[in-house]
Structure 1
Amino acid sequence: MVFTEFRFLFFFILIFCIYWALQKHNHRKTWLLVCSYIFYGAWDWRFLSLLLLSTVVDYFVGLMLSRPQVDSSIAGQQIQISEVVENKETKNEWINTFSWDALLNKPLNQPQRQAWLTLSLVVNLGLLGFFKYYNFFADSASELLVFLGLPVSINTLEIILPAGISFYTFQTLSYSIDAYLGKVKPIRSFWDFSLFVAFFPQLVAGPIVRASTFFPQLLTPKSLNEVDFRACLTLFLVGYFKKACISDNLSPLVDQYFTNPEIYTALSCWIAVIAFVIQVYCDFSGYSDMAIACAGLLGYKLPLNFNFPYFSSNITQLWQRWHITLFTWLRDYIYTPLIKMRPREQRTEIFRSRNILILMLVSGFWHGAAWHFVIWGGLHGIALIVHKQWSSWIAPYKQFQTLRNIIGIPLTFYWFCASATFFRVSDFSSIIQVEKSFLFFNSPGSENLNIQIGWIFIPLIIMHWAAYKSWFADWWHKIPKWSFAVFYGMLVSIILRFAAINPQPFVYFQF
């Protein structure tokens, strides 16, 4: 069920009306949970079992990690004491006195805590690894064995990738890790935790929400008067425009070029590559905008996921603004632990650079189970390392900061476009062909795409820059209600006029 489909609009209106008609906060949460499962099951109801499995496992892992921690040095004494108590009590008495509170108050030593965290990691990463990466590793292993002179073939499987598995897996893992580290207090309500995992606006493509952000909202009763309707409706319309009018309309053009790049001119290559990076941005940021807006209309706040990344003046800044919740997740749970593996005085530049490269390789591999995604991540890792070194060298020359920012924006965008081929194309011969056309203006063919489409980029850049500079910020709050209603209706009519006839699936659904 795509957000730009009319059936989703009717689905959400039904959710919204019944949600706010219910008086009790718990009833509203139950309604949202049921609707979230219906929303996810609309793709394939069989994969609800995977979602429920992750939910159950991490819920109980959280409960076990909420137990008081004891020092391993006194664990043996506690075991002896418990044995004495057990010998003094009869079996029936133990059964009668057993309760969840008694279990959760029973101390847990460090090895036991590590075992529970390991269970969460094994189950979640095991499911993700099987459904997303089994065929990749099977193919890679077969090719390696053939290269080594061992003609052994490992059979691949017809595996359907569950929608959003990469997103909700990272979300539940962050809960287990934070509970282990003591950064979040595990939640006792199974239904609240289930809603945290399955909350439908961000379930299948993010933003990736942390428990520390979402749990307090689950405990706070919502009021319709607190909902900023104008802001939410405006944000949803902006996201709808990005997805339905820009991304979906550029999709056929991009597909046309990348199906046969060898027959097109270098100018067509430039148009197609730029159209692709615009398509991906409008597709994913449009989804995030609509997800945040839908959650806001229900009284929940989701984190920002995009912050005008194409106006970044360097590659580090771009990755701080692109898919923010994923980048911060990888930073907090992969890069930071790798850095802390060594004492501060041993953290050399080479050590930090290695960890940056590992971070981006994991990011590339997260995006897809193929070598071209890994290379794409590696290229951005190298770019981040180069920029880090360059920044340290150029830091004393502060008088050139403005010039660096002006030059940095087009250079960063150029690099992002040049590397995007590895994200879009899986065939390495086609990647080389596209890169030759884009980097060296080599025209392998004489065919041209619809060159007129290039003129669309100009008004899009102007509109995006205006939004970046906040020229129209809070306009929806500054006009009367009737003016907002009329103007909003006019915008809806115009946007529907330019919306693509056939809604396209969200690009990040495949991840």
Structure 2
Amino acid sequence: MLSRPQVSDLLQQEIPSNEVIEKAKTPNLWNWDALLNKPQNQQQRQAWLILSLVANLGILGFFKYYNFFTESAANLLSFLGLPISLTTLNIILPAGISFYTFQTLSYSLDIYLGKLKPVRNFWDFSLFVTFFPQLVAGPIVRASTFLPQLLTPKSLNEVDFQGCLMLFFVGYFKKACISDNLSPLIEQYFTNPENYTFLSCWIAVISFVIQIYCDFSGYSDMAIASAGLLGYKLPLNFNFPYLSGNITELWQRWHITLYSWLRDYVYFPLMKKRPKAERTELFGYKNLLILMLLSGLWHGAAWHFVIWGGLNGIALIVHKQWLSRIAPYKGLLPLRKLLGIPLTMYWFCASAIFFRSNDLSSAIQVEKSFLFLTSLGSENLNIQVAWTFAPLIMLHWAAYKGWFADWWRKIPSWSFAVCFGVLVSAIFRLTAINPQPFVYFQF
């Protein structure tokens, strides 16, 4: 695999400043978004921003959350002794709606905050919204990152073909050879967890943690590589999160574009709502918990996703408290580093059960089996799959250390073509017989 820091350098290019955007001579095909940028009328700017938020979040809320909130309201009223019949709809969720909704929101918010000038060309904006490589499963691309790239013509001479092809190869390997091969075993367990032993529980949970990373980061790798072949740079979305030494570091390296989006557009504005003197530690923790609850809800319209987000929010708060208390004891630093990665992964696996389970009740069952080593049933999964964990971990570590990085740059083009052809031929033998849809297509 490629070293992630090296991969992030593959598609580096200078992003023009907002001044360049402002000076660009492009036809003024639309003007409504410029109203967000008029400093002389704050009320009008706020009205246009609210309209943009209502339109974007309203569409997302209807398609993704209408049935969830309707069913939740009906269950709550029934619990309170006020049974009511509410109609749910058979809504088809558009693929990737959460991703491109956040992308378009970034455009309005950046203009309102003065970080971006309104784009003057409707087709440039349309390309930003519909740019296909990352459209359905990320990374989430902000307007301030993508739109400036449209100001400069693209040349084939500037494209790092070998780097992009290798990055695409790595993403395909993660998805088609690792994630898709683990998918049937995971589905087998989580469909009927009550039939299996605690050993099967551990195998299924660890397999899922591997699957979700390979599936999602694999898509991101292929999206970044595809955009790079077209001459565009997309932001890094994963940076070896499973080698994090604590839960805070993990969430700084997992789905980077989502959590940086929530940080900049949700957490920071919530913190600024109070004067500096009133921004207490407790206030910050409350906003951090809100951030992670929203993250859980973003991932899926079900309470087990919300609980997953809340558990990770609590873990982040506990870690910050732990750091403040352990800071004076510098002699414990080596022990913290030694235990940090396995403890972080243990927590991530335990919380991931709520993410993967089909409903809340089965999630609680699996959680008990995982934490207390209790067998719900007597059946066992294919335990031989556990033998693949060690080489995958070693491969991941080697990629993190950069052992495979840049070798393709040190050989002639014809040698690269031969090596790449051999790798592609070999990888087809490992590709899953039954391809699976990307997990994040449902979000």
> Is TM (by shorter chain) over 0.5?
yes
1:125 to 57, 82, 105: 57
2:184 is the counterpart of 1:252: yes
Where 1:195 maps in the other structure, the secondary structure is helix
Distance in structure 2 (CA, Å) of the matches to 1:186 and 1:199: 18
Q: CA deviation at 1:128?
A: 0.4
The root-mean-square deviation of aligned C-alpha atoms, in Å, is 1.2
1:240 to 158, 172, 175: 172
2:1 is the counterpart of 1:69: no
Matches within 5 A, 1:52-451: 61-66=32-37, 68-70=38-40, 109-451=41-383
Q: CA deviation at 1:60?
A: 5.4
- Based on CA coordinates, which of the two structures has the bigger radius of gyration? 1
Q: CA deviation at 1:502?
A: 2.0
- The amino acid of 1:402's aligned partner reads P
Distance in structure 2 (CA, Å) of the matches to 1:326 and 1:211: 14
1:481 to 394, 413, 432: 413
Where 1:201 maps in the other structure, the secondary structure is coil
Residues 119-146 of structure 1 deviation map (CA, whole Å, 9 limit, x = unaligned)? 1001000000000000011001111111
- The amino acid of 1:64's aligned partner reads L
Distance in structure 2 (CA, Å) of the matches to 1:422 and 1:141: 22
Distance in structure 2 (CA, Å) of the matches to 1:243 and 1:165: 21
Q: CA deviation at 1:335?
A: 0.4
Distance in structure 1 (CA, Å) of the matches to 2:380 and 2:296: 31
Where 2:429 maps in the other structure, the secondary structure is helix
Residues 15-48 of structure 1 deviation map (CA, whole Å, 9 limit, x = unaligned)? xxxxxxxxxxxxxxxxxxxxxxxxxxxxxxxxxx
Distance in structure 1 (CA, Å) of the matches to 2:371 and 2:148: 50
Residues 339-360 of structure 1 deviation map (CA, whole Å, 9 limit, x = unaligned)? 1111112111111110110000
CA 1:60–1:120: 2 relative to 1, 3 Å: farther
Contact 1:61–1:120, Cα closer than 8 Å, also in 2: no
Percent identical among aligned pairs is: 77
Contact 2:161–2:229, Cα closer than 8 Å, also in 1: yes
- The amino acid of 1:279's aligned partner reads Q
Distance in structure 2 (CA, Å) of the matches to 1:475 and 1:61: 50
Contact 1:263–1:444, Cα closer than 8 Å, also in 2: yes
Residues 422-441 of structure 1 deviation map (CA, whole Å, 9 limit, x = unaligned)? 00113233112211111111
Gaps of 5+ in 2: 1-28
Distance in structure 1 (CA, Å) of the matches to 2:358 and 2:435: 24
Q: CA deviation at 1:503?
A: 1.5
Distance in structure 1 (CA, Å) of the matches to 2:264 and 2:80: 39
Q: CA deviation at 1:509?
A: 0.5
CA 1:119–1:61: 2 relative to 1, 3 Å: farther
Give the alignment's TM-score, normalised by structure 1: 0.80
Q: CA deviation at 1:190?
A: 0.3
- The amino acid of 2:242's aligned partner reads Y
Q: CA deviation at 1:176?
A: 0.2
1:51 match: none
Distance in structure 1 (CA, Å) of the matches to 2:331 and 2:141: 40
Distance in structure 2 (CA, Å) of the matches to 1:402 and 1:326: 32
Q: CA deviation at 1:401?
A: 2.2
Q: CA deviation at 1:255?
A: 0.3
Bigger proportion of residues as helix: 1
- The amino acid of 1:492's aligned partner reads V
Distance in structure 1 (CA, Å) of the matches to 2:275 and 2:349: 38
Q: What is the count of residue pairs matched by the alignment? A: 415
Distance in structure 1 (CA, Å) of the matches to 2:96 and 2:174: 21
Contact 1:307–1:321, Cα closer than 8 Å, also in 2: yes
Distance in structure 2 (CA, Å) of the matches to 1:126 and 1:432: 32
Residues 336-384 of structure 1 deviation map (CA, whole Å, 9 limit, x = unaligned)? 0011111112111111110110000000000011111100000000000
4+ residue segments displaced more than 4 Å: none
Distance in structure 2 (CA, Å) of the matches to 1:467 and 1:431: 33
Pick 1 or 2: higher relative contact order, CA cutoff 8 A, min separation 6. Answer: 2
Where 1:69 maps in the other structure, the secondary structure is coil
Distance in structure 1 (CA, Å) of the matches to 2:197 and 2:140: 40
Gaps of 5+ in 1: 1-55, 71-108
Q: CA deviation at 1:399?
A: 3.2
Contact 2:190–2:358, Cα closer than 8 Å, also in 1: no
CA 1:163–1:206: 2 relative to 1, 3 Å: same
Contact 1:61–1:176, Cα closer than 8 Å, also in 2: no
